[in-house]
Structure formats: structure tokens, C-alpha cells
Amino acid sequence: MKRLVSFSLTAVLLFLIQVLLAQTVAAVEKKRITKADASGKVFSLSECVSISVETSPQVLYSQADITEKEYSLSSSKKDLYPSLFFKYGYRYAPDAYSPFGVENYYNYIFSIEQPIYRGRSLVTGVELGELDLEFSKADMVRTKNDIVLAVHEAYYNLLKTRKFVEVAKQSLEERKAHLKDSRAFFKAGLIPKNDMLQSEVQLAGAEIELIRAMNLSIMALARLNTLLRRPVETEIQVEDIFKYEPSEISWELAVEQAKKFRPELKQSDISIEQADKNIILTRAPYLPAVSVSANYLKQGDNLLAGEYPLGPSEVKTAYATLEWRFWAWGQSKDKVASAKHTMKKAQENQFELLDNIILQVREAFVDIKESEYNIGVTEKAIEQAEEDYRINQSRFQAQLSTTTDVLDAQTRLTRARINYYNALYNHHISLTRLAWSTGTLIL
């Protein structure tokens, strides 16, 4: 009697769990439908990449940075040109005496100055401006590389999680069908109630797995929508990429491409060159500076400086100036030493950066080989699992196997399907990551 009560309570609890899970699944599905994209457009991977690159705040930031560096470079170049000055002055001296014996004194001056030599600081400033511009352009490439990689990963993860949803729904239908058979057999007295309850428990587990798969798909959709600058809950239809082609890239070629095309390595080279230029710039204030200038002075005792009673009203002068700060208590030596160690740091950073890049290439390369192997294995595993499930289901119909055998076969089949889709889409992701790690993703 106690066993019957226990079974009845278990059955009621399982029924309530199934009802709640069914309502949850329906609610998630309803939410997805109400947020569907009205356009019905199916986006390709290339379209998603284009939209993301065009609308990305990081790309817009990089474009603004490049424009800023272009203007800065233009300004640095103009430091090499002569400078023009104008100055107008008035002095009132009621108690003036010689040589300032003019009570109202007016003057204006036109000057032109041309720097000749400033310890190569002017030319070096232009060269640093050019390097800054090249650094920003390389940063733009790096930014686009990262965005394109993120779009590829989000796109393939969305496809993968949607396949998980399909597998979970298929598994749920298979378990519903088995539960239906189990209930019929139980009513006929062919199996014990425990077997039927086991089928109901497995059905509840399948519903939980469906909800989990749907949530994974919702989050994958949200990540892709974020990259496309769309509301995260908006439904989007994407083209499936089900094609598999083994990779033919060699390890040596991948490393060679990474050393040649990774924008981070180019930025590192630029940083080293900038540090070298900064050494020159640090020395410049302590080297002789040569400049030439010419002035035209017009002075007088009226507003237009027309006449000057104490001398000529027009004065023309030319100057050649040499300045040299030859002693500053060893300050120049200290600053140059500091600049040299800055360059040393940039060189050491490049070594570490190259090691990290090679590791990234290696990881992507190994992942590709692993996914290629897994695709072949899981394809065969699906065939074997389908046959295993068919045989156990047939044997169960003939009362030659138990519910446990059928449920275990269903679990193996579901796992084989998930493993296959994991391997397939991870292969696409690994190919993308290899292209990203070698710097060839947007070439």
C-alpha cells in the first residue's frame, strides 16, 4: 500500500513538473515570436560583417583617431616653414626725456623667422607624426580584425545553438513517443510502473534540456544583435553554413603570415621606431639651435607712425641667431639614458608579443585539426547511434529490451548529434580564429 501511495505521489509530481516545463517552453517560444523581425530578411555572414564594421563605435573611434593624427602631422610639417609676426604698440610718456623724448610714441613691426637647425627636432617631429599616423592606421586594421572575428564567432554560435534547439526538440519528441508506448505497455501489464515513471523522468529532463538550449540560442542571438547595433531581443534569420572543407594551411605558412600581417606586430615596430626618434628629440634641446629672422620697424608720433622726430621712422634689421645650452648639470645625459631604456622596453615587449601571437596561431591550428577529426568521428557516431536507437526501440516493442535500454540509446543519439554540430561549427570558428591570428582575416 505504501509503495502504491509513493508511486502515486511521484506520478503527480512528475505531471506537475511536465506542465510547468511545458508552460515555460511555450512562454519562451511566444517571446521569440513577438519580437520577430518584421522584414523577414535572411542575413548572410558577409552582410553581418559589413553592417558591424560600418556601425561599430570602435571603428568610428579609430577613424576619428586617424583624422586627428593627419591634422597633427600637417601641423608638424608647418613647423618647418617660416613664421610671420605683426606687432603694433603705443606708449604714452608725458615726462619723457631723451632718448624717449616723444610724449606719444607709436610703432608697428613686421617680422619673419625661419628656423635652420634645432638639433633635428623639427624634422624628427614630422617623422614622429608620420609614425603616429601609421600606428593609428594599424590600430584600425586591428580593430576591424577583432570585430570581424567577433561577428564570425557570434554568427556560428547562433547557428550552433539553433541546431541544439532542433536536437533538443527532436529528443523531446522521441521521449514523448517512448513514454506513450511505456504507458500503453504498463496498462497492458507488460512493464512495471517503475519503467513508466523512468520514462516520465527522462521526458522532464528532455524538456529542461530544451529550455537550456533555447536560452543559449537567445543569448547567442543577443550577442550577434549587439554587434549589428540592433535591439538584443530582435529575431534575425541567418543563412546556415553547413559546408565542411578540410583545411590545407601548413603550420610554417601560418607562422610566416602572422609575422607579416598581424597589425599588432606592425604597431610594435612603430613603437620601437618612435622610441628611437624620441632619443633624438631628447637630445635636441641640448644641441645648438640656428635661426634667421628679418624685421621691419615703423615708428612715429602719430597713429600711423608717419614721422619720428628723434630718428628714422623706418628701421630694417636682419638677424642670424645661434643658441646653445651646453651645460645643465648632466640633465641631458639622464634624459637620453631614460629614452634609451624606453626603447629597450619597446623591444622587449615585441619579443613577448611575438611569443603570444605564435601561441594564438598554434591554438587555432590545433583546434582546427581537432575539429576536423571530431567531424569524421561524430558523423559515424550519429549513424551508429541511430541504428542503436532503432534496434533498442524495436526490441522494446517486442519486449526483448527494457525502458532503460531505449532511454540510454536516446541519450547516446542526442549526445552524438550535439557533438557533431559542436565539431562542425567549432571548425568554422577555428578557421576564423586562425585567419585572425595570422592577420589575414580582412585581407
End-to-end CA distance of the chain: 75
For residue 108, the surrounding DSSP H or E stretch is strand 104-117
Domain that holds residue 371: 2-81+118-288+324-437
Q: Domain for residue 333, yes or no? A: yes
Helices (H) and strands (E) in the chain, counts: 9, 6
What is residue 367's predicted lDDT score, i.e. its pLDDT? 95
8 A C-beta contact, residue 313 and residue 138? no
Q: At residue 126, what is the residue type? A: V
Q: Domain for residue 141, yes or no? A: yes
Task: Check: pTM over 0.85? Answer yes or no.
Answer: no
For the chain, which ranges sit under pLDDT 50? 1-7, 9, 11-17, 19, 21, 25, 28, 30-34
Nearest-10 Cα torsion for 190, 195, 201, 202: -80
Q: Do 248 and 132 fall within a single domain?
A: yes
Q: Do 106 and 173 fall within a single domain?
A: no
User: Can you give the CATH number for the domain in which 100 is found?
Assistant: 2.20.200
Q: How far apart are CA 399 and CA 184, in angstroms?
A: 13
Count Cβ atoms below 10 Å from residue 193 Cβ, excluding itself.
15
Q: Do 343 and 297 fall within a single domain?
A: no
Number of domains in the chain: 2
Cell numbers describing residue 345: 622596453
Cα dihedral sign, 121-127-131-133: positive
Q: Domain for residue 102, yes or no? A: yes
Q: Do 253 and 310 fall within a single domain?
A: no
Q: How far apart are CA 359 and CA 365, in angstroms?
A: 10
Picking from 323, 349, 372, the residue at the C-terminal end of a domain is: 323
Q: At residue 7, what is the residue type? A: F
Q: Do 202 and 60 fall within a single domain?
A: yes
Count Cβ atoms below 10 Å from residue 324 Cβ, excluding itself.
11
What is residue 34's predicted lDDT score, i.e. its pLDDT? 37
Q: Domain for residue 19, yes or no? A: yes
CB-neighbour burial class of residue 84 (10 A; exposed 0-12, middle 13-18, buried 19+): exposed
Residue 161 sits at the vertex; the CA angle it makes with 55 and 221, to the nearest 5 degrees, is 25
User: Can you give the CATH number for the domain in which 264 is found?
Assistant: 1.20.1600.10
Cell numbers describing residue 318: 636682419
Q: Domain for residue 443, yes or no? A: no
Q: At residue 423, what is the residue type? A: A
Q: Do 269 and 301 fall within a single domain?
A: no
Q: Do 283 and 406 fall within a single domain?
A: yes
Q: Do 125 and 264 fall within a single domain?
A: yes
Q: How far apart are CA 127 and CA 140, in angstroms?
A: 20
Q: Kind of pairing, strands 104-117 and 289-300?
A: antiparallel
Q: How far apart are CA 370 and CA 244, in angstroms?
A: 14
Q: Do 109 and 165 fall within a single domain?
A: no
Q: Domain for residue 89, yes or no? A: yes
Q: How far apart are CA 13 and CA 18, in angstroms?
A: 9
Picking from 323, 347, 371, the residue at the C-terminal end of a domain is: 323
Q: Domain for residue 94, yes or no? A: yes
Whether omega for the bond prior to residue 99 falls within 30 degrees of 0, making it cis, is: yes
Q: Do 46 and 105 fall within a single domain?
A: no
What is residue 329's predicted lDDT score, i.e. its pLDDT? 64
Q: Do 304 and 181 fall within a single domain?
A: no
Q: Domain for residue 221, yes or no? A: yes
Residue indicated by cell numbers 634667421: 292
For residue 184, the surrounding DSSP H or E stretch is helix 121-187
Q: How far apart are CA 184 and CA 347, in angstroms?
A: 76
What is residue 220's predicted lDDT score, i.e. its pLDDT? 96
Q: Do 60 and 158 fall within a single domain?
A: yes
If you write DSSP's letter for every residue of 365-413 in order, what string do you get? HHHHHHHHHHHHHHHHHHHHHHHHHHHHHHHHHTTSS-HHHHHHHHHHH
8 A C-beta contact, residue 198 and residue 403? yes
For residue 105, the surrounding DSSP H or E stretch is strand 104-117
